[in-house]
Amino acid sequence: MNRRHFLAATAATTAATGLAPILRAAAAKRPPRILLRSSWQSVNIGDIGHTPGALSLLWKHFPECEITLWPGELGHGSRDLLTKGYPRLKIVEGSLGADGKPNKPALAQAWTEADLYLSGSGSGFPAANHAVAFQKATGKPVGVFGVSNDPISGMGKTRDPEGGTLNSLRERALKLPPTHLSEDLRFIMDRAAFFFCRDTITRDYLKAQGVKSPIVEFGPDAQLGMHLRDDAKGLAYLKSAGLEEGKFISVIPRLRYTPYYKIRNTKRTADDEIKDAINERTTKQDHDKLRDMIVRYVRGTGNKVMACAEMTYQVQMAKDELVDPLPVDVKKNVVWRDTYWLPDEAASVYAKAQAVVSVECHSPLIALHHGTPTFYVRQPTDTCKGQMYRDIGANDWFFEVDETSGAQLWSRLEAIHRDPVAARAKVKSIMATVEVRQKRMVDAVREACRA
């Protein structure tokens, strides 16, 4: 007897014996159960922060639910961050075997018990094959909680390794044929109970592709929901570094392509050679603009700057590209953070900054949640996710790096320095927009669990 016939027979038996109302009542009494697939890696505080962001939002708007996390990787202290911050959280680990089924009993049990598979924020629908396998094996709903799907940027025959401005990416994505989306992605997107895109370029591309999910909407990155802070560590660091609240900015560098082969100590590929060449050609020109802004800020205000990292490789990069080349009179006001950190400590530090200026995408999101004005200086290779800043009303603080100068960055930063009250009021307005969408996202989760 195949699965379909077995389920039909079971349903008939249940109805005949009068058990259906009893089983429905029992199911209604237990908490809704969510299997959250997230925590893709821990070398980036943004990827770490996706998970606590989602957990905070879910338990804020859907407090009765039970959540089991199926993580990709929990290193660099991120496991302790989650278990201490969310004592109710269950964690199961494992992957899929050759048969496409969970390779560990605890993961198999989580599949059985879950009412909903929820894919957390990330680029390109991470672990989409796991969502497909779950849906095919269980028939239960799958939902997506704020991802980007950029069909233009990156490596591959149909992609552009140089990327492009957001306007260019949108235009090119919408010109693609309606059959462009891959078969596996179309399968799960068509069957998703909801698909929240963390930027409207992704949303419009998927709609143009004819994705059949009943909800294909903008839903910002889950990082924006993270409430965790580590004030003990953060404030101690500020004191040791001589940084005063409201009298410093944080600046974060980035290569156009993350050198994952160096981080993971794997063999360098042909694609890596292309990425390295792009990095070598653009790193100085990108960071010249940030250094120019730093010089103008320090000389114009007398305040300090903290150069820090969002990813592990950027710890040394912050020194090499932001600090070391500065003039002597400016350098004495610049602090280099020489260690990696977790998003809760970063949140505590960013909350005390006058502003955060980042070439990485997620540090600005952490700053916004905690009330701090922030700039995102986007590189053309950093996918379409940066559109999110325009979508939430932060366009004045969004910059395309190839269309921006250090003087322009300083001009916007000087406005924040002149009127910090107005700048923080703008943050509140941005977050009010975000919070409306966040509640909508969790409402969709609730409805999918009921179904």
> Comparing 29-225+435-450 with 231-430, is the CATH topology the same?
yes
Per DSSP, what are the bridge partners of residue 117? 35, 142
- pLDDT tens by residue, the chain, 451 residues: 444 443 444 444 344 445 444 445 455 578 999 999 999 999 999 999 999 999 999 999 999 999 999 999 999 999 999 999 999 999 999 999 999 999 999 999 999 999 999 999 999 899 999 999 999 999 999 999 999 999 999 998 889 999 999 999 999 999 999 999 999 999 999 999 999 999 999 999 999 999 999 999 999 999 999 999 999 999 999 999 999 999 999 999 999 999 999 999 999 999 999 999 999 999 999 999 999 999 999 999 999 999 999 999 999 999 999 999 999 999 999 999 999 999 999 999 999 999 999 999 999 999 999 999 999 999 999 999 999 999 999 999 999 999 999 999 999 999 999 999 999 999 999 999 999 999 999 999 999 999 8
Q: Please give the pLDDT value at position 27.
A: 54
Question: Which residues touch 53 (CB under 8 Å, ≥6 apart)?
Answer: 121, 221, 222, 223, 224, 225, 226
pLDDT at 13: 39
- What is the spatial distance between Cα 75 and Cα 4, in angstroms, rounded to a whole number? 41
Predicted local confidence at residue 192, as pLDDT: 98
SS3 257: coil
| Predicted pLDDT at 157 | 87
- Taking the CA atoms of 439, 443, 445 and 449 in sequence, report the sign of the dihedral they define: positive
Residue 307 is encoded by which pair of tokens? 């150069």
**Which pLDDT score, from 0 to 100, does residue 12 have?**
45
Return the domain boundaries, the chain: 29-225+435-450, 231-430
- Topology at the third CATH level for domain 29-225+435-450: Rossmann fold (3.40.50)
The predicted structure's pLDDT at residue 1: 41
pTM for the model stands at 0.92
pLDDT of residue 28: 59
Q: Is the CATH number 3.40.630.40 carried by domain 231-430?
A: no
- Residue 158: the pLDDT is 87
CB atoms within 10 A of CB 350: 29
